[in-house]
Amino acid sequence: MTALSLPTPGLTGSSLWDPALIARYNLAGPRYTSYPTAAQFQDDAGDTLWHEAIDASNAAGAPLSLYFHIPFCNTVCYYCACNKIITANRQRATDYLQLLYREIALQADAVRPGRIVRQLHWGGGTPTYISDDEMQALMAQTRRHFQLADDDSGEFSIEVHPGGMEPARIAHLRGLGFNRVSMGVQDFDPDVQQAVNRFNSVEEVSALVAAIRRERFKSLSMDLIYGLPRQSEGSFARTLDQVIALRPDRLSLFNYAHMPQMFKTQRQIDERQLPEPAVKMAILHQSIEQLLAAGYEYIGMDHFALPGDELALAQMQGTLHRNFQGYSTHKDCDLLAFGVSAINALGNSHFQNHKDEASYARAIEAGQLPLAKRISLSNDDLLRKAVINELICNFGLDYAAIETQFGIDFQDYFAPEMARLPALARDGLIALDAGGIRVMPAGRLLVRRLCMEFDAYIDHSKLSGNRFSRII
């Protein structure tokens, strides 16, 4: 890590928050969990291209990260924009798992033996929708086909909906090998929960947290959403106080993007109950102040962590990374993903599975990988990906490091981008010198806007649009 990317000491909510800059730069833009983004994937994926990518991955020999998408939920949360299946019919999940096992075998057959799995994540949907026995079977199938780091040194995480989940299940998750839990709390206010059809009480969450601590999980992450209907500054401050009292190791504060034209479930939200934009911004500002005052460090975008958490340590060491699950500490892993809509990232190639259950099932039953889309990264893509990762993870960029890695003259290669950056510097988002770029405190919340300057797929004459959510 260079001096350019060192975290800013004494960061405060006031130094992060500049209303004039937010008004000017809070446009719609990508979240950059990948570059290029999924919007650039092409409809020409196939087994041959995937096998070429896994052969190259095997030759490189990097450790593996595994992602399993379990899309099922008992009830619909009206704000949700995830790929999910709402059903009370448990047989659908049972049938889906049988397909998942077959996909695991198809992919694993092409993986060179001995590659260690350092990271594993179950997402959804609600992974805890499936029974304990089904969880046991899925993990057994995973261990049958892959070599997991079973000394608890890996990062093995699972997403949990706390509403109605029995604390006794936490011990079962730990026994399966999970050492991290991500819990979707969203909001504790009863009126807000009623408005979005998402219910989990403080008592339920507290009981789960106690069980997680008792079972010695390495990390607990909680997700909150600001901008939901019926939220106010006061109500969300109370929720955040209750969350802070539970002391999760990581906390994500997501912006609710109301796009009912894209996500049908959001049409069940009464738009008249959404907080006004000024109130929504006030909630965010207040929340940042609360979290920093409580000792959390601002990791980036919408993520906070306690100083001893691995995310905070990775940022201090300059090794923080972003992938399709968000910020990550495992920069060197190739990603294999399973289930509907799941995305593989193998070296310079990304592949996405079919998003609908029927197409996914047809491919598996035909003995084929259920691939729908893909992209192969060009040299320019790889260069820009590295630049964006440095900016969004480490808030700084050393020109010389990029030049050495890619054999370019940074100022010359990025001449159009460099011509636009002085305007951001004058506004106080960044500082520029002969050695590189440093993101200033006021630019941290808006770092996605800076990344957009290096995105070759964005029309910089038209930076507004509805494809993406707003930056904050």
How does pLDDT run across 359-383, given as a tens digit for each residue?
999 999 999 999 999 999 999 999 9
Name 23's Cβ contacts closer than 8 Å, sequence gap at least 6. Answer: none
Per-residue model confidence (pLDDT) at position 10 = 56
Asked if the model's pLDDT at residue 9 lies above 80, the reply is no
Nearest to 229 by CA among 200, 209, 258: 258
Mean pLDDT of 243-271: 95
Average pLDDT, the chain: 93
Per-residue model confidence (pLDDT) at position 159 = 97
Q: Pick the residue with more confidence: 7 or 362?
A: 362
- Residue 336, classed as helix, strand or coil, is strand
Per-residue model confidence (pLDDT) at position 470 = 79
**Does the global pTM surpass 0.85?**
yes
Among 23-27, 53-57, 78-82, 134-138, the minimum mean pLDDT is found in: 23-27
Per-residue model confidence (pLDDT) at position 45 = 83
Mean pLDDT of 256-277: 94
Q: Where in the chain is CATH 1.10.10.920?
A: 3-31+379-453
CA distance linking residue 254 with residue 470, whole number of Å: 11
Mean pLDDT of 5-27: 73
Decide which of 1.10.3660.10, 1.10.3720.10, 2.40.30.30, 1.10.10.920 is the CATH code for 3-31+379-453: 1.10.10.920
Retrieve residue 246's tokens. Answer: 């539970």
Side chain identity, residue 103: E
Instruction: Report angle CA 328, 440, 17 to the nearest 5 degrees.
Output: 90
Q: Pick the residue with more confidence: 71 or 26?
A: 71
pLDDT band of residue 427 (cuts 50, 70, 90) is: very high
Asked if the model's pLDDT at residue 14 lies above 80, the reply is no
Per-residue model confidence (pLDDT) at position 6 = 43
- Residue 157, classed as helix, strand or coil, is strand
Residue 456 DSSP one-character state: T
Mean pLDDT of 191-212: 97
Per-residue model confidence (pLDDT) at position 13 = 65
- CATH topology for the 38-335 domain: pyruvate-formate lyase- activating enzyme (3.80.30)
Helices in 131-276 by DSSP H: which ranges? 132-145, 168-176, 190-196, 202-214, 233-246
Q: Where in the chain is CATH 3.80.30.20?
A: 38-335
Q: How far is CA 55 from CA 60, 115, 128, 376, in A?
A: 9, 13, 34, 14
Torsions phi, psi for 184 (to 5 deg) = -85, 100
Per-residue model confidence (pLDDT) at position 392 = 93
Mean pLDDT of 72-90: 95
